[in-house]
Structure 1
Amino acid sequence: MYNATDSVKDLFRRIAEGDEAAFKLLFDHYLPILRPFIFKLVQQESGAEDVMQNTFVRVWLNRDKLEGVEHPQAWLYRLTANECYTWLKKEATLRLRHQAAAHPDTGYDPVAGQLALKETRHLIAQAVDKLPPQRKQIYLLSRNAGLKIPEIADQLQLSQSYIKNAIVFSLKSIRDHLEKNGHYIPLIVLLFIKE
């Protein structure tokens, strides 16, 4: 069983050396911690199991890089979140394929799809332009420049929590603007749409 004397960094170091017992300790410790986090994002038991399995497979496959991880718990949560988003994208694609197969006469029109995406991007750009200047700057650094929250905080000399809140409020403002214009897009999907 995992205990306080086994730090996560130590487990990462041991896993990097191929220690399967350390991997099992990490798995046993984080399984009950990550499960609710995953379920909250994917909202399906079978999906949560898939994500959990994929997350720990990735940990094992990338074990040679684990020793260089500075903040193991944050890294593990980020890896888990990325696996959730990958799963959600695959599910959305599968759902669209099933819908198209169930209604072949109303098949997907690539031209209409491109126009809808173009319109959505235009509406997002409008919403971003309406953001307060600092919030707009933070959003653009996050989405267009691809900077992480700590990098933006360092660059703008603001707290990380302020940056995170500014991004959340920006995404909510964008979603509200889209909804006012007849586009109902879940907040999670906005994370993947670029202007």
Structure 2
Amino acid sequence: MAQEIEIEFKNLLTEDEYEKVYHFLPFKSVELMEQTNYYFETEDLNLKQQGAALRIRQKQGQWTLTLKQPHAEGLLETHDSLTEEEANLWIQNKMTEKPHVSKQLDDLGISLENLHYLGSLTTRRKELAYKEATVVLDHSLYYDKEDYELEVEAGSKETGKKVIDEILHVCNIPNRETDNKIKRFYDRKRLQSE
């Protein structure tokens, strides 16, 4: 599918809280996946200013270019598949037109020539189905930082909120205002360059 609406709830965790959630749900029986996000932006942070983010995700040998944009129900995600060669060209700042993402970027007034590669974030992920939602435990590494996160993706805001609230309550974890990965990545990059 070239576009989808993503409805998700996030909560940063300490390492101990991560372990609590890991043992509360049957994550032990779920395969660990590793994925790497490669982020792109303009010099003047035009995407960020519009609440958007652009990444290539490498996961299980597949490369996907994704533009995330604000949407009334969550985030609008627009996808294009890439070959490994195309992904490597993007990372070398040699962007190639892709039908779905390029159209959305045009609508935002952003040209491929103005994009550049920022860096990468690697996540070790476990996910499972739980009460009509997908519950995800992430351990992410970027620059000199690592963090732990609980994500709940659902078909509706009501379901997602109910599931994350239950997990946080049962595991005695405070609800934390949590920025998405790209925002945390940007903040760390800014700190690194100061």
After TM superposition, the score normalised by the length of structure 2 is 0.25
Kindly indicate which of the two structures has a greater share of residues assigned to strand: 2
TM-score (norm 1): 0.25
Q: Which has the higher helix share?
A: 1
Larger Rg: 1
Which has the higher relative contact order, 1 or 2, with Cα contacts under 8 A spaced 6 or more apart? 2
